Amino acid sequence: MFIIETYPVAVLFCIITMFCWGSWANTQKLAAANWRFELFYWDYVIGIVVLSLLFAFTLGSFGAGGRSFLADVQQADQANLVSALWGGILFNAANILLVAAIAIAGMSVAFPVGIGLALVIGVIVNYLDAPVGNALMLFGGVALIAVAILLNASAYRKLSSNTGGVSTKGLLLSVIAGALMGLFYKYVANSMFPDFTNPVAGKLSPYTAVVIFSLGILLSNVVFNTLLMKRPFVGTPVGYADYFRGDVKSHLMGVLGGAIWCIGMSFSIIASDLAGPAISYGLGQGATIVAALWGIYIWKEFKGAPTGTSTLLNIMLLCYVIGLGLIIAAR
Helices 37-57 and 206-230: crossing angle in degrees, nearest 10, is 170
User: pTM of the entire structure?
Assistant: 0.87
Q: Is residue 207 part of a domain?
A: yes
Cβ partners under 8 Å of residue 94, min gap 6? 118, 176, 177, 178, 179, 180, 181, 184
How many domains are there within the chain? Answer: 1
Give the DSSP per-residue string, 278-289.
Answer: HHHHHHHTTHHH
pLDDT one digit per residue (tens) for the chain, 331 residues: 999 999 999 999 999 999 999 898 899 889 988 899 899 999 999 999 999 999 999 999 998 888 999 999 999 999 999 999 999 999 999 988 987 887 777 766 776 778 778 888 988 999 998 898 899 999 999 899 888 878 877 777 777 666 555 457 888 888 899 999 999 999 999 999 989 999 999 999 999 999 999 999 999 999 999 999 999 887 899 999 999 999 999 999 999 999 999 999 999 999 999 999 988 988 887 777 787 778 778 877 777 778 888 888 889 889 988 988 898 889 8
Q: Is residue 35 part of a domain?
A: yes
Q: Is residue 227 part of a domain?
A: yes
Give the DSSP per-residue string, 181-240.
Answer: HHHHHHHHHHTB-SSTTS--TTPBPHHHHHHHHHHHHHHHHHHHHHHHHHS-SSSS---H
Domain that holds residue 90: 7-329
Q: How far is CA 293 from the centre of its chain?
A: 17
Cα dihedral value 116, 120, 123, 128, nearest 10: -160
Q: Is residue 74 part of a domain?
A: yes
Q: Is residue 1 part of a domain?
A: no
Q: Is residue 2 part of a domain?
A: no
Rounded Cα distance between 286 and 325, Å, is 10
Question: What are 161-170's contacts with CB under 8 Å, separation 24+?
Answer: 161/306, 162/304, 162/305, 162/306, 163/304, 163/305, 165/105, 166/104, 166/105, 169/104, 169/105, 169/233, 169/234, 170/101, 170/104, 170/105, 170/106, 170/109, 170/110
Q: How far is CA 89 from the centre of its chain?
A: 13
Q: Is residue 221 part of a domain?
A: yes
